[in-house]
Structure 1
Amino acid sequence: MPLHPCRENHICPIGKGACPGVCIFADIFEDINLGIMVFDLEHEKIAFFNPAVEKLLTPQLDIEDYPSLKEQLFKDLEADIPVTAPVSSSFQFYDKVLGYSVYPISANRFLWVFIQDITEKIRLESIADAVNTMDNLGYVFSGIRHEIGNPINSAKMALSVLKDNFATFSNDTVLEFVDRSLDELKRVEFLLKSLRNINMYETPDLSHINLSHFLDNFISLAWSDFSDKGICINTDFHLKAKWAFVDPRPLQQVLLNIFTNAADALENREPKTIELCTRLNHGFIWIHITDSGCGIAEKELNNLFKPFFTLKPQGTGLGLVICRKMLARMNCTIEITSEENIGTTVSISIPEGCSDTLLG
């Protein structure tokens, strides 16, 4: 394969000082299956592309057509061009799905773009997701059948006994059986309400919020109830962990669930404390909620986010499942660490936001 002569007007992203007088890009990348191209943002031209790019994009696209190529590649990119950090994305290109990564170089004057056909990878992932979904649905339906079936069977049994002995039972005994049946039906009602909450905030309304003010307001609302239970809430908000990009409505639901779990874990414990702190780390604000409760056994930690798994006698096992789903839709995460008889820490990561001043 012949080397490509270096042209005088050729813009070389590696710098003329490193160039031996021929275009080493074409020689090195000639037989690589990965598509590689270099965007020259200053002169609005394609400084380099290898044969793999031609194979992927032609004849539908003219690689020399800089505006069209830039529009096609970057129109769905969740970042402004020029990017200041590496980003990745994908797009549907006729009958193919192409994935690409963009790397800025030379003070953002050039963009390295690595592109490849990921159609088969997406197809295999879709099959895996479908299998995983069916497995999860089987697990969920099994849990629903168990959780609803038990109280219904108990109510049915109580009512059957009452029907067979109605003429001989005293009024107090009749009321006892009726109350027992109502309690079981309330259990079903509570479970159905919890299932309905799974679809809450399906489409979050993300905005830049003052997280410190939000948490202060949350604590002021919860303070009275927790104080009545003898629980002390301590806060430690980092000055730089102030602005977050999140929907405050589902975030409040998540915090209510976590604080309720903490309060349950603190029952019959002394001292009763919950520590709420925030920290900033690599573009994310971390909210840490630590209680001095009974803790969770190590063998149970991996089950906490499984539907219908619960450590509470009257729990549904859906609270943390719903929390994680709400957070995931806002690009947030949740982690739980715990030590039995010591306490539990729940850590939530939230994308950092901007102040009203910076947003203009």
Structure 2
Amino acid sequence: MEEVRKLVNHSIQSSMLVVDEEGRVILATDKLLKFSGYSAEEITSIPFSRLFKVRASLRELYDFYFSDESGPVEWPHGFLMSKNGETIHYQFSMARLVRDEKVVYLMIMRNQLEGSQLNLLQRFSDAFLKDVNLGVLLISMNYTLVDISDMACRILGLERETILNMSLDEVFATVPSEHRLVQRTILNGMVVRNYAVSWTNNHERFELLLDSNVLKDNQGNMVGAYIIFKDVTNMRSLEEMVQRSDRLAMIGQIAAGTAHEIRNPLTSIKGFLQVLRRTFEVQGMSKEQSYTEVMLTEINRINELVNEFLLLSKPKHVSYERIDLSEVLRGILPIINNEAILYNVHLQYEASYHLPEVIADQELLKQVFLNICKNGIEAMSDGGVLTITEKVDTTERNVCIDIHDTGSGIPMFVIDKIFDPFFTTKDTGTGLGLSVCQRIIHDMGGSIKVSSKGYGTTFTIVIPYA
């Protein structure tokens, strides 16, 4: 009998009891022994009626609850007396087995405490997926999505009802395989910890930290996998802002100390060249005159570079006041439109009426908008659409200006460098324009965000409103 009990324990994890028709316990699984407190020998010596506090016979219980082929709607409830005298509530199901005219009853039992714990865990799981500020994906062994949290749906741009039980190859069909958030290797037991991932959804870029692992059953067999990720976009943006501010501050200190020393000799050179140009013009020396004009043009270019270099330090003579961003944009729209016409670009302006006022310097804002719009227009060499959109983020109390172009986009390996001083992809660019724009907006308490998905780029200027 002990060998039979071990065999049953190995094959079933439920609380199970085998009782003969006279009410003698023949066999009990380890799980039942554990929560009742009896040993295998002790429980076989206790009559069924005393153990389970019932007056009815096993035949009567079976006939009342389980003789109907359709079975009961729910498992019946009962009481079991534990070894220490505690009454344990349980639910049970029965099967009647007949062999060689001998009848035994097989009882499968479930401790109600276990049921309530499972119910509690299920409720926690449901609440976790809905309320927690984490992205969670549960994946089955056949690579289908079993469940997904609300935050994961929001960041990944998915609708929960339409993707559940769908193959992840279909869920991420529009994403190149090497850039997918979930790889099939996760089902090979690959464990990931704090893996940094960038994800772009509807022109909004998210920085994520991802963990993944497999799920196993009680026998150690793998039954699925999970992925958990946290949105660390704001943290990364803050780190990058601090790093860029440090770099800009260092360059600004160099600029403040050297720009005047550069300008002084340039002023002298420019003055003497103007005198020479006038002399060559009077004497009819047109060839020499053309040389001086080239030199003067280059000196003016150096002066402009020095002016931008100086702006990397804290801008001087800044006048902060309450400003309506719509008025600022409408004031420079003719300039932007004229530039767009030269490149066969169509300009769209989507206004938002009654924008809250911001505290800023009007002239510096014009410089930022013109610079970013000019970059967007030049990115569409074959024509396209430049869209300027005004929005209000009432949650963060910001006014947002989106400047979107339909150009070829910015490669992912470049996008993190575009605000670095002297980094440029243009043949004639200085690489200081976006650095200066970022410094100006940062000094106003705002930020500049950029997102690109390979078929267009969106710059978002964010400024807190008054």
Q: TM-score range by the shorter chain?
A: 0.3 to 0.5
> Could you tell me the TM-score, scaled by structure 1's length?
0.46
Determine which structure has greater relative contact order: mean sequence separation of CA pairs < 8 Å that are 6+ residues apart, divided by chain length.
1
> Could you tell me the TM-score, scaled by structure 2's length?
0.36
Rg larger for: 2
